[in-house]
Amino acid sequence: MNAAFKQPAKKTGSPALLTILRNAKKQQAESEKMFAELGWEELPAELKFEIEDDVKGYIEELHGRYSSNCPYIQRRRESVDFWVRSYMEGICSLETAIDSLKVEEL
């Protein structure tokens, strides 16, 4: 009798999940580097999360990969700078800074 035996599959982590985890770690490291370049590495995670896209724009422009003359973008950057400085100097609370910088989703 010639019977075929089915070999059990090797148990390894899902490649998709490992890729997602690797990408998340890479994005986190890039984000921390961006905040460090601006001297904002000591900000709480909640505030960092609220302004992360703004900081990405700052860094892109600082590195010469992006430029904008839009008055709305300039006003937003001034607002981010004002509230981050106010929080860091103890002028306002974390909640006030986050509420002031929160962007409503469409």
Predicted TM-score (pTM) of this structure: 0.72
Rounded to whole angstroms, how far apart are CA atoms 106 and 99? Answer: 17
Beta-carbon contacts of 56 under 8 Å, excluding residues fewer than 6 positions away, are 34
Q: Tell me if 82 is assigned to some domain.
A: yes
Q: Looking at the predicted structure, is the pLDDT value of residue 32 above 60?
A: yes
Q: What are the structure tokens assigned to 105, written together? A: 């989703």
Q: Tell me if 2 is assigned to some domain.
A: no
Amino acid symbol at 22:
R
- Whole domain around residue 60: which residue ranges? 16-101
Q: For the segment 50-96, what is each residue's pLDDT rounded down to a tens digit?
A: 998 888 888 888 878 877 788 888 899 999 999 999 999 999 999 99
Domain count, the chain: 1
Q: Tell me if 11 is assigned to some domain.
A: no
* More confident call, 32 vs 13: 32
Other C-beta atoms lying within 10 Å of the C-beta of residue 80: 22
Q: Tell me if 9 is assigned to some domain.
A: no
Q: Tell me if 5 is assigned to some domain.
A: no
